[in-house]
Every structure is written in C-alpha cells, then in structure tokens.
Amino acid sequence: MILKHDIPQGAKLYFGKEAKIKREIESIAAEVFETLEFEEIITPFFSYHQLEALDEKELIRFTDEKNRSLALRGDSSIDVIRLVIKRLKSEAKKWFYIQPVFRAPSSEMYQIGAEWLDGNLSEILKTNNLIFERLSKSYTLQLSHIKIPLAVSKLTGLDLDDIKKMRLYKFKDEWLKKLVNIHTLKDLNDLSGYPEEIASYLNEIKEIAKDHESAIISPLYVANLRYYTGVFYRFIKGNVVYAKGGEYVVEGERSVGFSIYTDNLLKDING
C-alpha cells in the first residue's frame, strides 16, 4: 500500500533548515563560478546520449514519440559539452550547472558541476577545491589515471575485474606489484622499471600531484564513468565521495570538468 505522503525510495525532499543550507551551498558555488567567468547552463532532464557516460543498467530508460531510446539525465558532462558545441555554438568555453541527475531504479542526486572546453585539469581541480574552501570543508584528494588499469589488463592479460577488486594473488609481474604500492607523490620519484606506457601515465599523475603533495595516488583505481580519457580525481572522506573530476573527449573536443555531490556535502555540513 502506498500512502498519500510517501515518496519513492531514492527521491529527495528538502525543507526548513536543510533546504536553506542547500541553497546557500549552491549560492556560494555559483558565486565562485561567476567570479571565474563560468557561464551557467541548465540541460534537459531527458537525453539521447547517456549510454556514452554510464552503463545501461544505471539508466532510467524510456522512448520518445518516435520510439527512439532516451533516458533521464544520469550524468551532465557529455550533454553540456555537446549542447554547447552543436546547439548553442557558443564561443564561451567555461560552463557550470546546478541540477539533479537520476540513476536506476529511482535515485535522485543533486550535483554542482563545471565543464571547461580545452581547459586545464590543474585549474579545474583548484576551482573544485575553492568551493570546498569557501564552505570551510577539506577532503582527501585521490588521483588516478583511467588508462593505467586498461594498460595493465592489456600487458598482463588480467581481467579488468581482477584489477578493480585487487585480486593480488593474480598479480605476477614485479612492476605490477610495485605499482600496487604507489600511494604518495614521493612514490612517483623513480618510474624506472615500469613499462614505458605505464611510466608515461604515472608521469601525467605526477604533474598534477606536484600542486597537491598530500594527495593519495591510486593508479589502479577503476572509474565507473566511461568518458574519462586521462587523469581523474575524487575528493573523499572515509567511504564517502564528495566530488569527482577529470579530463575527457566529447565530439572530438578535449575538456575537463567536475561534479560535486551536493547531498553528501549537505549531510557533512549538517553533521
């Protein structure tokens, strides 16, 4: 029996103090973006292109009037870049959004995010962190590279799932055992002994980490977003993720961006 006041599991309801804090968070973020000359965009709730970002099982799918498959917005990044390039044809390269995304079966998640066409990952990371600083919040930065797990799988024959679940008993190569023990910037000082391809990717992480010496380096972390093409990051505390960001390519255009998980941030602020 569904009562008249019930809301679906995974749906969000904000009222009173919580609604006020949420609005203050969004206002501070918008102020940071506008100061840094980001333009605001609000994308449609419905999208034809979500499979480029997420696995089908994560999407809430249905069809349009011509029986073409579409989905509720599960991720904002690809739609933002595609709309700016193809529909708006704007010369502006820096965009931000404050809007929810939806995941199957019925999860609603608010995000504060930014996308920067041909942007700099170090600078977009600083923008992300600046918002946290304005909110008097500090989280652990984790740096990874999407191509390292893929390259390891190719070089060793390991299944990507073996890497994702860290089945260490299958890790036979000495360089791979060494890779598992990389955690800090200092661990990247000597990249000899690694296959050339792996060393190249580690060096890309190292360049970003130079400005964030306390960052945790996680070269074998496997991201669930499909579109990252290089270095990506997470801001975490315990097992909670407060933001994700990285570099990617959409419509042949390299871009960088991030998303802050508003609901997780709201819970942390409320204690």
- Residue 1 in this model has a pLDDT that exceeds 80: no
pLDDT digit string (tens) for 88-121?
Answer: 888 899 999 999 999 999 899 999 999 999 999 9
pLDDT digit string (tens) for 22-50?
Answer: 999 999 999 999 999 999 999 999 988 88
- Residue 125 in this model has a pLDDT that exceeds 70: yes
- Residue 53 in this model has a pLDDT that exceeds 80: no
Residue 3: the pLDDT is: 61
- Residue 255 in this model has a pLDDT that exceeds 90: yes
pLDDT digit string (tens) for 10-29?
Answer: 888 889 999 999 999 999 99
Q: Which of 59-68, 89-98, 134-143, 167-176 has the lowest mean pLDDT?
A: 59-68
Residue 225: the pLDDT is: 66
pLDDT digit string (tens) for 133-149?
Answer: 999 999 999 999 999 99
Mean pLDDT, residues 206-231:
90
Q: Report the 3 state secondary structure along the chain.
A: CCCCCCCCCCCCCCCHHHHHHHHHHHHHHHHHHHHCCCEECCCCCEECCHHHCCCHHHCCEEECCCCCEEEECCCCHHHHHHHHHHHHCCCCCEEEEEEEEEECCCEEEEEEEEEEECCCHHHHHHHHHHHHHHCCCCCEEEEEECHHHHHHHHHHCCCHHHHHCCCHHHCCCHHHHHHHCCCCHHHHCCCCCCCHHHHHHHHHHHHHHCCCCCCEECCCCCCCCCCEEEEEEEEEECCEEEEEEEEEEECCEEEEEEEEEHHHHHHHHHC
Q: Which residues contact 50 (CB under 8 A, 6 or more apart)?
A: 59, 70, 71, 73, 74, 75, 78
Residue 122: the pLDDT is: 95
Look over the chain and give the mean of its residue pLDDT values, rounded to a whole number.
92
Q: How far apart are CA 242 and CA 88, in angstroms?
A: 30
